[in-house]
Structure 1
């Protein structure tokens, strides 16, 4: 009887302490600060006189299959050849649908693409793989960064390297193994500034994106940075505000220690943040530049000493997350982003298509725009490419 009682108690203790898995806490642990707002308001002041000659617009892959989609792309040039990486899905493109990464090549400035091949197809236990960024260290040494989504409380950021100009790639390596949470990375966002790789991210402070709503300030910003080409990673402090901060982008300006961050919001205007000391301290800068809840993309052009921006220049249903992302507009600033002028609409205003998630890259002597075209009626995604000198 004593033996039976002992076995019964032991079995129950094992169930209690060993058989029940403790639920993992996926909240990101960061020191949070709220920068002050600058007394300067960034303004859009009129039409630019700059004359840019744009190429025709080309599709990456104009598939007529109803469920075959391409989206969230980035572009790079290596030895006079263009490479593009994008999410590819045969089951529609949605935040929680399956997708993987495909790479392709062009020898004619993006007019035609060939040699499509899967690049990242593993992670079978994940929901999807998306949002790739290229980082070019040299013509031989190239990084890709991308997100791997597992749940509403976990997205991991991964990297791979090529040492032969995008021919072969190392195995995937997770960025910052100490951090687990829902880390939101856009395509074409990772930067290489002053020998430092920088990954700007948005995240829900509670740890679960399901807690985000249009009426709270759940989403904060932070960035990873590596000063040894990805061998080790550090985290910045998190930036907070009295509203949710979504999908940041980040560039360095004429002074490489001065960075400008563009921030998607739900309040109908683009929000900016600026640092002049390599990210140690920040100040927010309000703007009068209208935008729905959609990301913007910046590029600093050293030759022109100017900043380009591409965004959806409309206030239609500003808090909405779709079906209002047109027109797709390009602007220019000659004073490090304090004042802007509109250049032209890349895509005209329409209710049929959304245009968003832009990669804006200067490659050799051309500037390339790569962006999503979403059919609002069918939900189909395509990637479009154009360029100018």
Structure 2
């Protein structure tokens, strides 16, 4: 019906530390993201620590898939879970587990994609390696892709996008100076050796999307080369499918503040950007940015 569903990790008993108690909450917008209805619970906290990292994807049968993490310990048991909704996110069916119980497997907000072939790629990471959880039957069954990491270190929260020629590009968070890139020529099954991109900055994840109006790629990430601070929050454009980046612009910048974990949803020619603001404890922010702003 054109409405928007927003989902986020709501820390309800602390200031937002990674392992604090949290549920998944939602809101609906009927006016393109300008205003939002009353908050409601998507998934109550059924983990030993919390539930977090919301990803939505429309399935071919019209249902909505919700992917998230069920965190049971701080470092040894974090599970990727999937639920589906047949009533536009009002209620959710029982969860299906997509990763092992004895490993710490993570996701990132707003990252699940469907390729033109119909294949679903759910970006995940575990043990310093990035990979995708793959489904070719609209979420009924799943398998893991090849796992990769940079030669000189580990990688974490990743993001994928299908390129115009059918290849898939993965960008991944590292502590090695910025976002690393890997390319798949077989729909996310196998990946090239990761290499550093122009998207330099602190150890925090990137959001990658395609600009509907121009077909260019938009990256949003924390861009502060040589620093561990998550400041500023920056956008950049690629007009050659991720080979080079230009039009660097700061979306947020302040000396004593921090922002991270961006996700972009396009509504017409506007980018709806969600991200965390760290000042005074974690808080969710939403900013509506016209496409022209990124090109100025």
Residue pair 1:253, 1:300 contacting (<8 A) in 2 also: no
**Which residue number corresponds to residue 236 of structure 1?**
145
Pair 1:168-2:70 in alignment:
no
| Residues 369-384 of structure 1 mapped to structure 2, 5 A cutoff | 369-375=273-279, 378-384=280-286
1:65-113 CA-partner distances (Å, limit 9, x unpaired): xxxxxxxxxxxxxx12111000112222111110000010112322221
Residue pair 1:87, 1:101 contacting (<8 A) in 2 also: yes
| Residues 66-77 of structure 1 mapped to structure 2, 5 A cutoff | none
For normalisation by structure 2, the TM-score amounts to 0.90
Could you say if the C-alpha distance between residues 294 and 167 of structure 1 is closer, same or farther in structure 2, counting changes exceeding 3 Å?
same
The offset of 1:159, in angstroms, is 1.1
Structure number, greater radius of gyration: 1
Matching residue within 213, 226, 234 for 1:329: 234
For normalisation by structure 1, the TM-score amounts to 0.69
**Which residue number corresponds to residue 169 of structure 2?**
260
| Residues 274-313 of structure 1 mapped to structure 2, 5 A cutoff | 274-283=183-192, 284-313=194-223
**Which residue number corresponds to residue 146 of structure 1?**
68
Residue pair 2:212, 2:269 contacting (<8 A) in 1 also: no
Distance 1:156 1:105 in 2: 27
| Residues 49-198 of structure 1 mapped to structure 2, 5 A cutoff | 79-90=1-12, 91-123=14-46, 125-137=47-59, 140-151=62-73, 152-176=75-99, 180-193=102-115, 194-198=117-121
Distance 1:266 1:337 in 2: 20
Could you say if the C-alpha distance between residues 168 and 365 of structure 1 is closer, same or farther in structure 2, counting changes exceeding 3 Å?
farther
Residue pair 1:110, 1:385 contacting (<8 A) in 2 also: no
| Residues 5-44 of structure 1 mapped to structure 2, 5 A cutoff | none
1:315-347 CA-partner distances (Å, limit 9, x unpaired): 242xx3xxx112111111111000110242111
**Which residue number corresponds to residue 247 of structure 1?**
157
Distance 1:277 1:243 in 2: 25
Give ranges in structure 2 of 5+ residues lacking alignment.
292-296
Pair 1:201-2:105 in alignment:
no
Distance 1:118 1:198 in 2: 26
Residue pair 1:373, 1:384 contacting (<8 A) in 2 also: no
Distance 2:263 2:178 in 1: 21
1:155-206 CA-partner distances (Å, limit 9, x unpaired): 1111111223223321222125x564100111111112221121111111xx
> CA RMSD for the aligned pairs?
1.9
Distance 2:146 2:35 in 1: 43
**Which residue number corresponds to residue 366 of structure 1?**
270
**Which residue number corresponds to residue 294 of structure 2?**
none
**Which residue number corresponds to residue 226 of structure 1?**
135
Give ranges in structure 1 of 5+ residues lacking alignment.
1-78, 205-218
Instruction: Report which structure shows greater RCO (CA 8 Å, sep ≥6).
Output: 1
Distance 1:131 1:370 in 2: 13
Residue pair 1:140, 1:164 contacting (<8 A) in 2 also: no
Residue pair 2:19, 2:50 contacting (<8 A) in 1 also: yes
Could you say if the C-alpha distance between residues 382 and 288 of structure 1 is closer, same or farther in structure 2, counting changes exceeding 3 Å?
closer
1:9-28 CA-partner distances (Å, limit 9, x unpaired): xxxxxxxxxxxxxxxxxxxx
Residue pair 2:272, 2:286 contacting (<8 A) in 1 also: no
Distance 2:21 2:183 in 1: 36
Matching residue within 240, 243, 246 for 1:341: 246
Residue pair 1:85, 1:132 contacting (<8 A) in 2 also: yes
